[in-house]
């Protein structure tokens, strides 16, 4: 799993660099991936990235200086701040998503449709067994997880 993850991460970082986002480091990219659309508190980002809050703060500081994120008041708690993607930060999303799509297509070409679905289902089962707060991102994957598409 780690080798596949690293290979995918390498490709996404390379695609971002080629598209003009060469200043994003691997740790920063991992933190960026954990930011929700409306913004995310620093402690949540640190938890998602499994890093100390101080490390997350340093990464956010660098991302803020580079123009990828901004700090905004949390509407649910006036004392708290959210880390939110700026226009520049959101600009990298289509690049990363497109590369993820190419990676999945390449892996499907190797494994075939049935085996890639089985792999996705197995990985979600493992992920959900260790983190019950996760939710499969799309309805088709949820159906696959429940065994709905076995073709």
Q: pLDDT 10s per residue in the chain (151 long)?
A: 899 999 999 999 999 999 999 999 999 999 999 999 899 999 999 998 989 999 999 999 999 999 999 999 999 888 899 999 999 999 999 999 999 999 999 999 999 999 999 999 999 999 888 887 777 766 444 444 444 443 3
Q: Where in the chain is the domain with CATH 1.10.10.10?
A: 22-91
d(CA 65, CA 61): 6
- Tell me the whole-structure pTM to 2 decimals: 0.81
CATH topology of domain 22-91: Arc Repressor Mutant, subunit A (1.10.10)
Per-residue pLDDT, 134? 77
Q: Helix or strand or coil: residue 66?
A: coil
If residue 61 lies in a helix (H) or strand (E), which one and from where to where?
helix 53-65
Q: Is 116 exposed, middle or buried (0-12, 13-18, 19+ CB in 10 A)?
A: middle
Residues listed for the chain: 151
């Amino acid at each position: 799993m780690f080798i596949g993850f690293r290979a995918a991460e390498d490709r996404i970082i390379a695609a971002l660099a080629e598209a003009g986002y060469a200043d994003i480091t691997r740790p920063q990219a991992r933190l960026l991936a954990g930011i929700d659309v409306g913004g995310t508190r620093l402690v949540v980002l640190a938890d998602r990235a499994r890093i100390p809050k101080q490390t997350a703060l340093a990464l956010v500081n660098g991302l803020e200086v580079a123009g990828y994120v901004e700090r905004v008041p949390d509407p649910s708690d006036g004392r708290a701040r959210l880390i939110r993607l700026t226009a520049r930060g959101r600009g990298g999303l289509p690049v990363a998503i497109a590369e993820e799509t190419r990676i999945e297509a390449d892996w499907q070409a190797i494994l075939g449709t049935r085996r890639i679905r089985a792999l996705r289902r197995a990985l979600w089962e493992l992920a959900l067994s260790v983190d019950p707060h996760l939710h499969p991102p799309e309805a088709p994957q949820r159906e696959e997880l429940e065994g709905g598409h076995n073709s």
